[in-house]
């Protein structure tokens, strides 16, 4: 008899940190996995650029390999990449940082994890506009913090200074408060203007809160230049970003955070205990991206804009209401009123009947949602065919909607 049989599963479970035991997997990935095996399915689920990494970036990785840069790298990142990020932030966003304030991470996931592990603690509060990327909820839970989700649907899915002020006042007895902003936003595509951010900054100045600004979609904006709270309130803001979306480098796993100087030592320790350091080869490739990839950004962003414009026109013709996306590559569409089930049931029915995979709004809103997210990081032909399929079977989906059927939607796997 093996040790697993002799001890039983409960013996092992009792040795797991309760904070980890209670964590759940990504609802986005769980739903994508659930429907991806359906024959001829069109997957508009994951938020991943469909472009290949630009050639000059791949060549930089080849040069790194040829130079035998295959050993341990500095924990904060290579000097060349940190300098390239510093210059990129100044050139593209008007943000001024010293290299010492920038730490390279294993993608934005690790940046967010290390930053929030440092700033949160039991009894602390994390304020997040909702709907939002589910990782934020997981990080609040695993760090023992109270999660305060601010419902933005009544204000067009835009956080307002008044709503933020109310959330901050609710947490006035908390020992620590962190506000997490995501602009452009996943899943809605909302991008905040500088004027709106100035309003948020006024609220933050009147409190003891720190801000974590998730700006991974900052280079995919359509209607106005990207605005960053780090440019308004740098002394209270930790900026999180990555090469993944901007340069089609999701698989390279290179992100970073830029922080106020007094926070850097503690944040650096959290990063070092999480991953040690990032791959030197990946960092050399990212350095090439940040130094010489402006044209790549412009070309891909222009294509996303074209896709947005076509997709919104097609979805409007199909009778859908949706949040007009100002950035990122997502369309957040409202489920037709006649559908009686949840957003998860609606997305399952679209997958089964229309052979189109989207992400239910339940993945972004713990209270339940009447929306679903389409990723338009896909070709125009695929998007057009997807809308055609959805429109063609929409009556059957709506009339068949029911709360009585099995809706095991992966919530048990949610982050």
Whether the CB-CB separation of 200 and 161 falls below 8 Å is answered with yes
Instruction: Determine phi and psi for 221, rounding to 5 degrees.
Output: -130, 150
Whether the CB-CB separation of 219 and 301 falls below 8 Å is answered with yes
d(CA 269, CA 144): 20
Residues contacting 304, CB < 8 A, separation 6+? 220, 222, 329, 376, 377
How far CA 86 is from CA of 76, 109, 357, in Å, comes to 13, 20, 39
Question: What pLDDT, on the 0 to 100 scale, is given for residue 3?
Answer: 58
Which secondary structure element, helix H or strand E, spans residue 356, and what is its range?
strand 356-357
Question: What pLDDT, on the 0 to 100 scale, is given for residue 10?
Answer: 85
Question: What pLDDT, on the 0 to 100 scale, is given for residue 377?
Answer: 97
Question: What pLDDT, on the 0 to 100 scale, is given for residue 409?
Answer: 44
Count of residues in the chain: 415
Name the β-bridge partners of 129.
150
Residues contacting 349, CB < 8 A, separation 6+? 341, 397, 400, 401
Question: What pLDDT, on the 0 to 100 scale, is given for residue 402?
Answer: 55
Question: What pLDDT, on the 0 to 100 scale, is given for residue 25?
Answer: 75
Residues in the chain, pLDDT under 50:
1, 403-406, 408-415
Question: What pLDDT, on the 0 to 100 scale, is given for residue 414?
Answer: 32
Question: What pLDDT, on the 0 to 100 scale, is given for residue 114?
Answer: 98
d(CA 163, CA 155): 10
């Amino acid at each position: 008899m093996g040790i697993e049989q002799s001890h039983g599963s409960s013996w092992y479970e009792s040795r797991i940190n309760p904070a980890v035991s209670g964590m759940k997997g990504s609802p986005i990935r769980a739903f994508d996995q659930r429907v991806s095996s359906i024959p001829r399915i069109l997957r508009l689920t994951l938020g991943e650029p469909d472009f290949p990494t630009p050639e000059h970036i791949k060549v930089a990785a080849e040069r790194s390999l040829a130079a035998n840069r295959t050993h341990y790298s500095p924990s904060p990142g290579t000097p060349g990449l940190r300098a390239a990020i510093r210059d990129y932030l100044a050139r593209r966003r008007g943000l001024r940082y010293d290299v010492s304030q920038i730490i390279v991470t294993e993608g934005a996931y690790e940046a967010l994890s290390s930053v929030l592990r440092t700033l949160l603690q039991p009894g602390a509060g994390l304020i997040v506009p909702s709907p939002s990327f589910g990782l934020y909820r997981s990080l609040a839970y695993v760090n023992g913090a109270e999660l305060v989700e601010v419902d933005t649907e009544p204000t067009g899915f835009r956080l307002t200074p008044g709503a933020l002020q109310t959330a901050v006042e609710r947490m006035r007895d908390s020992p620590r408060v962190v506000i997490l902003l995501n602009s452009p936003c996943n899943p809605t595509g909302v991008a905040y203007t500088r004027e709106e951010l100035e309003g948020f900054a006024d609220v933050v100045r009147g409190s003891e809160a720190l801000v974590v600004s998730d700006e991974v979609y900052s280079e995919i904006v359509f209607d106005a230049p990207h605005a960053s709270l780090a440019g308004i309130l740098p002394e209270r803001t930790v900026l999180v970003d990555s090469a993944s979306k901007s340069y089609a480098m999701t698989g390279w796993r290179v992100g970073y955070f830029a922080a106020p100087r007094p926070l850097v030592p503690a944040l650096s320790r959290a990063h070092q205990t999480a991953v040690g350091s990032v791959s030197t080869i990946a960092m050399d490739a990212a350095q090439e991206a940040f130094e010489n990839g402006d044209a790549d950004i412009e070309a891909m962003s222009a294509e996303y804009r074209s896709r947005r414009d076509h997709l919104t026109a097609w979805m409007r013709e199909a009778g859908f209401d949706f949040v007009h996306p100002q950035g990122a590559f997502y369309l957040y569409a409202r489920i037709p009123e006649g559908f009686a089930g949840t957003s998860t049931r609606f997305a399952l029915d679209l997958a089964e009947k229309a052979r189109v995979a989207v992400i239910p709004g339940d993945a972004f809103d713990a209270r339940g949602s009447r929306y679903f997210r389409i990723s338009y990081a896909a070709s125009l032909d695929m998007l057009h065919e997807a809308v055609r399929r959805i429109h063609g079977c929409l009556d059957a989906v709506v009339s068949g909607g029911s709360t009585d059927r099995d809706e095991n939607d992966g919530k048990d796997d949610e982050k």
